[in-house]
Amino acid sequence: MKTLTCTTPGTFEYSETEKPELKKDHAIIKIKRIGICGTDLHAFEGTQPFFNYPRVLGHELSGELVEVDGVEGFKIGEAVTFIPYFNCGECIACRMNKPNCCVKMQVCGVHVDGGMREYLQVPSRTLLHGEGLSYDELALVEPLAIGAHGVRRAAVQPGEFVLVIGAGPIGLGTMEFARIAGANVIALDINDDRLAFCKDKLKVPYMVNALSADVVQQLSDITNGDMPTVVIDATGNQKAINNAINYMAHGARFVLIGLQKGDLIFNHPEFHKRESTLMSSRNATIEDFEHVIKSMKAGLVNPTNYITHKVKFEEVKDEFESWLDPKNGVIKAMVSIV
């Protein structure tokens, strides 16, 4: 089978590798779609934490089930996706029903080789039925689940003002699921085109450019002087995270979905006086994946809105670097394998 490997930062190589042979309690998927996410882009740049080279990237995946062992209810030939976080099932996190932050976590395409290849073998327990969704839609379940998990971590309540910082794919999904939870969503980004996308495509009611001189005043005006009771960072940008402390209501929750390499550094008195709650949000759980699929089927989310670029698998090596340039307006690139 043909495989695309990120051999070193900035370098991809195609090669012929062996098709996997079915192992006990595993399944083999013929990959049809590969969504490109920030993790892939950062790995290509050499800025992704917890990463080693060479690595086959790709964890936003969908495909056709061609072999399966150890699980009932799945049919050969059906469209599937899967949960790409391979947990140990034994550590303290797994025992506390938090497999998304397993101590020995192996994320497909990060810690172990991912889906930029024609066939991929995964643990059967991670499989999810396609539920009649298209391959494009199924490849977008995972990034949307990341946002859904962050919203669930924040315990967003109807009527709350939720500020989502970063209008990339993860931030956009976070906005969608905050809306589904009943929140009044505020989008904050430095890119006016992204903010326009939030308004036009996602119907987000409030947009603020983070480069404005009066961000705090704008947020105060939107929230009737209260400030947002939930702030969710989807940038992984240290400056954005530091500034976000000033955007929080007293008693607010601050959720970090985005990940940056450095230390967390912010003003302790500003954080402390608010009796703020700080939490991280890592990956997602089966509950989040099921919530996303159910929301897609109900028409509450149209994930194909996010797909701005489509390429064939054979074109990825030549096209990938261009997706790093903000001028090209990439929100979600989707790779097809025939």
Range(s) of the chain covered by CATH 3.40.50.720 = 147-280
Range scoring the smallest mean pLDDT among 120-129, 260-269, 283-292: 260-269
**Residues 235, 268, 185, 301, CA torsion sign:** positive
- Estimate the share of the chain in helix, then strand, then coil, as percent rounded to the nearest 5: 35, 25, 40
Per-residue model confidence (pLDDT) at position 39? 87
Mean pLDDT across the chain, nearest whole number? 96
At 126-152, the pLDDT tens digits run 999 999 999 999 999 999 999 999 999
Q: How far apart, in whole angstroms, are the C-alpha atoms of residue 29 and residue 85?
A: 16
Secondary structure of residue 208 in the 3-state scheme: strand
Per-residue model confidence (pLDDT) at position 261? 77
Per-residue model confidence (pLDDT) at position 47? 81
pLDDT at 264 over 90: no
Range(s) of the chain covered by CATH 3.90.180.10 = 2-130+302-336
CATH of 2-130+302-336, one of 3.30.499.10, 3.40.50.300, 3.40.50.620, 3.90.180.10: 3.90.180.10
At 314-326, the pLDDT tens digits run 999 999 999 999 8
Distances (CA, A) of 87 to 104, 275, 315: 7, 34, 33
At 206-246, the pLDDT tens digits run 999 999 999 999 999 999 999 999 999 999 899 999 999 99
CATH of 147-280, one of 3.40.50.1000, 2.40.160.20, 2.60.40.10, 3.40.50.720: 3.40.50.720
Using 50, 70 and 90 to split pLDDT, how confident is the model at 186? very high
Q: Phi first, then psi: what are they for 154, rounded to 5°?
A: -75, -10
Average pLDDT, stretch 11-27? 97
Average pLDDT, stretch 254-262? 90
